[in-house]
Amino acid sequence: MHGSLKCNDARDAAAEAPGAREGVRPPGYLQRLRIAPPWALLLLTFLTGCPLAENYTDEAGPRYSGDHREPGTVASEAPASITVVTFNLSFAEKVTEAITALSRPPLAGADVIAMQEMDAASVDRIASELGLAYVYYPASVQVDDDDFGNALLSRWPIVADRKVHLPHDDPYHQRRRIAVLATLDIGGTLVQTASVHNATPIVGLGGRLDQAEAIIDAMEGTGPVQVIAGDFNTSDPGSLRQMVKLFSGRDFQWASEGVGDTVDSVIGGLPLDFVFAQGLAPLERGVDRRPAGSDHHPVWVRFAWPP
């Protein structure tokens, strides 16, 4: 949801250009000054572009994983239901608040947590506090020099995982987006999961639909039970409808349908975070709107089990 502010650097540089501080001006200067800046800034922006993102383009990494589940507490029998949460933690700046939110009902005891805008240390801390296994892949380095990526945390063993590079780097920074895929063993049933963070509307809707389809394609044929959860950045008009239509056309159910807005923004509430599922029947769903350390609210869905 957040965009980099680095493009402002160009405007700042233009405002501080040496010529702007000279004392003697030719006649007509003031008139030109009033006309020139917008066009000069536009030209400057065209010519210089924006600072390029530092992406992790490696196919397999960097990869971080851990298992903080307490020996003996891991369920050996199949549960009566499983709960999936998706939560964009907004640059992972308020981890303590997030842990508090994830430790109270209805999020407490979640079987799977898909997280976005994370760095490795924050993921490890959350997994450690909640007693979960995790896998985390950063997609790029963010403006604060922290890594920026997706994680999947699970009460159940993670038996396989991988990173999927999404098409269409953003046109201003060339920032790459990824999805993190993991196979979970839930009481002997393999569940394919994905933590998604699509590009913002800086990338056109066609590009973001391609990103979602790349994830569906990557999971196709991996098993009958699949969950795709994350921040789909569907803030622009009509994008939610087309995103849901894409998933429906590929036999995914919008499991979190009807939960409402998931982000508070300056223009009001926005529906950005979703859970889509295949082979699972949702029983309950909701958004925990209490403060959780992010502008996004955690979205949860409880599915019947076994599938």
Partner 1 sequence: MMRGFGIRALWVGGTLALAPGCLSGARNIGAATTPVGTTEVGVSLNALAFERGREQAYLPSPELSFRKGAGDNWDWGGRLTLLGLELGTRHRLIEEPRWTWSVAPSAGVWYVPVTNNFTEPVNLRLGAQTLLDYRLSRAWTLTGGASLTGAFAGPLTAFQGRFNGANLLLSPGGSLGIGFRLSPSFEVRAEGGLEFPLGLRGGSRPPTGHAGLTFRWSRADRR
Residue 177 binds partner 1, judged by CB under 8 A? no
Least distance (Å) from partner 1 to the CB of residue 105?
28
> What gap in Å lies between CA 216 and CA 207, rounded to an integer?
14
Q: Which is nearer to partner 1, 129 or 210 (CB)?
A: 210
Instruction: Mention every residue, 6+ apart, whose C-beta is less than 8 A from residue 39.
Output: none
C-beta closer to partner 1: residue 14 or 121: 14
Which residue is associated with the tokens 């957040």? Answer: 2
Residues 228, 196: Cα–Cα separation, whole Å: 7
Q: Of 190 and 240, which CB lies nearer to partner 1 in the complex structure?
A: 240
Environment class of residue 203 by beta-carbon count within 10 Å: exposed (0-12), middle (13-18) or buried (19+)? buried
* Torsion from C-alpha of 124, 114, 87, 75, nearest 10 degrees: -80
To partner 1, the closest distance from the beta carbon of 269 in angstroms equals 8
Identify the CA nearest to 265 among candidates 232, 296, 291, 289. 296
List, in order, residues 6 or more apart from 34 with CB less than 8 Å away. none
Q: How far apart are CA 27 and CA 178, in angstroms?
A: 55
Q: Is 197 in the site for partner 1 (CB under 8 A)?
A: no
> Is position 113 an interface residue for partner 1 (rule: CB under 8 A)?
no
Rule CB under 8 A: choose which of 87, 156, 172, 254 binds partner 1.
172
Please report where in the chains the tokens 């994905």 appear, as a residue: 194
Whichever of 67 and 261 has its CB closer to partner 1, that residue is: 261
User: Which residues fall within 8 angstroms of residue 59, CB to CB, at 6 or more apart?
Assistant: 163, 165
Structure token pair of residue 218: 């990557």
State yes or no: residue 248 binds partner 1 (CB under 8 A).
no
Asked if 286 interacts with partner 1 (CB under 8 A), we say no
The residue (of 49 and 307) whose beta carbon lies closer to partner 1 is 49
**253 touching partner 1, by CB under 8 A:** no
18 binds partner 1, rule: CB under 8 A: no
Of positions 206, 223, 260, 291, contacts partner 1 by CB under 8 A: 206
Binding of partner 1 at residue 174 (CB under 8 A)?
yes
Q: Among 93-101, 126-134, 137-145, 171-179, which window interacts with partner 1 (CB under 8 A)?
A: 171-179
Q: How far is the CB of 46 from partner 1 (least distance, A)?
A: 6
Site for partner 1 in 33-72 (CB under 8 A): 42, 45-50, 52
**Binder of partner 1 out of 209, 218, 272, 277 (CB under 8 A):** 209
Q: Smallest distance, Å, CB 298 to partner 1?
A: 22
Q: Does 178 bind partner 1 (CB under 8 A)?
A: no
Q: How far is the CB of 300 from partner 1 (least distance, A)?
A: 24
Residues forming contacts to partner 1 in the complex (CB under 8 A) are 42, 45-50, 52, 168-174, 203-207, 209-210, 237-239, 242, 246, 267-269
